[in-house]
């Protein structure tokens, strides 16, 4: 805890004064360009990965970077997505999975979570990806986990399209969806190409989107 407090004091002494004009602007308004949905894993820091300043990203973090499909009783994730799209007007949504994900390890290995009922209930939102992954009979445990991480990103991209604010923004061609997988050891990111359904290096393919707008799909 003392390291955390020391960090805060360092920010007050050094970082905050150097960005005083930025924080003055942010004191009464925010205008983020993107909603970044990531895992709560301590090793995944959206602002660090993308080198963004305060005010640039609207962030959701939870176990497994999950977005429940829209339902009659929307929760915190649904409310945050709606606010980001309908009020803040973000133009891009990124759903980012990562290597060595504990949540996806639990799902891919069918881990007994009886002692963690809240976790088990939450991870049920990854059941679509789990079903697809379970149908694969080849590959090692590591390959199965990697496939699960990618499949989960795809599943959550499907879920987020059920949210009315997202569906409307996609139909009006004012929102792009992106699916990323971050590798902790190498620092690389793979991005989902909606044309092929494959993940490819983001560094070589910065133009790729995970999901086209509804009007493009209908064309």
Question: Which one is catalytic: 3, 13, 41, 61?
Answer: 41
**Widest distance between CA atoms in the chain:** 57
The encoded tokens of residue 135 equal: 């149908």
The set of residues, in sequence order, having a beta carbon less than 8 Å from that of 176 and lying 6+ positions away, is 91, 92, 93, 209, 211, 213
Task: Specify whether 41 is catalytic.
Answer: yes
Question: Which one is catalytic: 96, 98, 125, 190?
Answer: 98
Question: Which one is catalytic: 96, 101, 163, 178?
Answer: 101
Task: Specify whether 43 is catalytic.
Answer: yes
Task: Specify whether 194 is catalytic.
Answer: no
Question: Which one is catalytic: 39, 125, 163, 178?
Answer: 39
Q: Are 20 and 54 in contact (CB under 8 A)?
A: no
Q: Are 148 and 129 in contact (CB under 8 A)?
A: yes
Task: Specify whether 98 is catalytic.
Answer: yes
Task: Specify whether 127 is catalytic.
Answer: no
Question: Which one is catalytic: 43, 136, 174, 198?
Answer: 43
3-state secondary structure 168-208: HHHHCCCCEEEEEEECCCCCCEEEEECCCCEEEECCCCCCC
**Catalytic residue set:** 39, 41, 43, 98, 101
């Amino acid at each position: 805890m003392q390291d955390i407090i020391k960090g805060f004091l360092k920010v007050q002494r050094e970082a905050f004064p150097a960005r005083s004009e930025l924080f003055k602007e942010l004191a009464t308004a925010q205008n983020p360009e993107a909603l970044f949905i990531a895992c709560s894993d301590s090793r995944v820091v959206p602002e660090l990965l993308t080198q963004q300043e305060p005010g640039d990203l609207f962030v959701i973090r939870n176990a497994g970077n999950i977005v429940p499909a829209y339902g009659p009783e929307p929760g915190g994730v649904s409310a945050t997505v709606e606010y980001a799209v309908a009020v803040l007007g973000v133009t891009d949504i990124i759903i980012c999975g990562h290597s060595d994900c504990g949540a996806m390890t639990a799902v891919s290995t069918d881990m007994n979570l009886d002692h963690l009922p809240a976790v088990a209930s939450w991870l049920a939102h990854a059941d679509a990806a789990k079903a697809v992954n379970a149908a694969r009979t080849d590959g090692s445990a590591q390959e199965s986990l990697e496939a699960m991480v990618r499949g989960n990103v795809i599943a959550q991209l499907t879920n987020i399209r059920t949210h009315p604010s997202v569906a409307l923004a996609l139909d009006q061609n004012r929102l792009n969806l992106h699916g990323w997988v971050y590798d902790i050891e190498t620092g690389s990111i793979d991005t989902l190409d909606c044309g092929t359904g494959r993940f490819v290096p983001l560094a070589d393919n910065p133009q790729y989107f995970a999901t086209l707008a509804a009007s493009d799909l209908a064309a």
